[in-house]
């Protein structure tokens, strides 16, 4: 069964360092999402792509976060510089992205710890 792949699974870094997360969605899925999940809370959308275009990045802290999906397939989320408050699980998800809303398929996430 096809799954969303993410790496790394775990990342420990010091504040002010740069970190990057990678996501490979299910083949053929046009929509890709990056969510941040703080322990004990629900996922919060950071950025949403339709193919290679950003359709929603209203909650992305653009002074330190960036995201790209250059060829409309895999995607990278970068944080520079990392801050203590960035410690969280970063979840990538994908969906077919056509027609009416449907199921999001999540990756296993990248857990970030900023020291």
Partner 1 sequence: GENVEQHPSTLSVQEGDSAVIKCTYSDSASNYFPWYKQELGKRPQLIIDIRSNVGEKKDQRIAVTLNKTAKHFSLHITETQPEDSAVYFCAATTGGGSNYKLTFGKGTLLTVNP
Degrees, nearest 5: CA angle 65-12-8: 75
Q: 8-47: which residues touch partner 1 (CB under 8 A)?
A: 30-31, 40-45
Q: Rounded to an integer, what distance in angstroms lies between the CA atom of residue 15 and that of residue 62?
A: 17
Q: Rounded to an integer, what distance in angstroms lies between the CA atom of residue 41 and that of residue 94?
A: 20
Q: 76-105: which residues touch partner 1 (CB under 8 A)?
A: 91, 97-104
Q: How far is the CB of 67 from partner 1 (least distance, A)?
A: 16
**Interacting residues with partner 1 (CB under 8 A):** 4, 30-31, 40-45, 48, 50, 55-56, 91, 97-104, 106-109
């Amino acid at each position: 069964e096809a799954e969303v792949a993410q790496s790394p699974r775990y990342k420990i870094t010091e504040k002010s360092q740069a970190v990057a997360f990678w996501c490979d969605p299910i083949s053929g899925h046009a929509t890709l999402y990056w969510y941040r999940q703080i322990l004990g809370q629900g996922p919060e959308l950071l950025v949403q792509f339709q193919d290679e275009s950003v359709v929603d990045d209203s909650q992305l802290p653009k002074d330190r976060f960036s995201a790209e999906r250059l060829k409309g397939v895999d995607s990278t989320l970068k944080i520079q510089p990392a801050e203590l408050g960035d410690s969280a699980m970063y979840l990538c998800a994908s969906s077919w992205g056509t027609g009416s809303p449907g199921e999001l398929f999540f990756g296993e996430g990248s857990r970030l710890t900023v020291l």
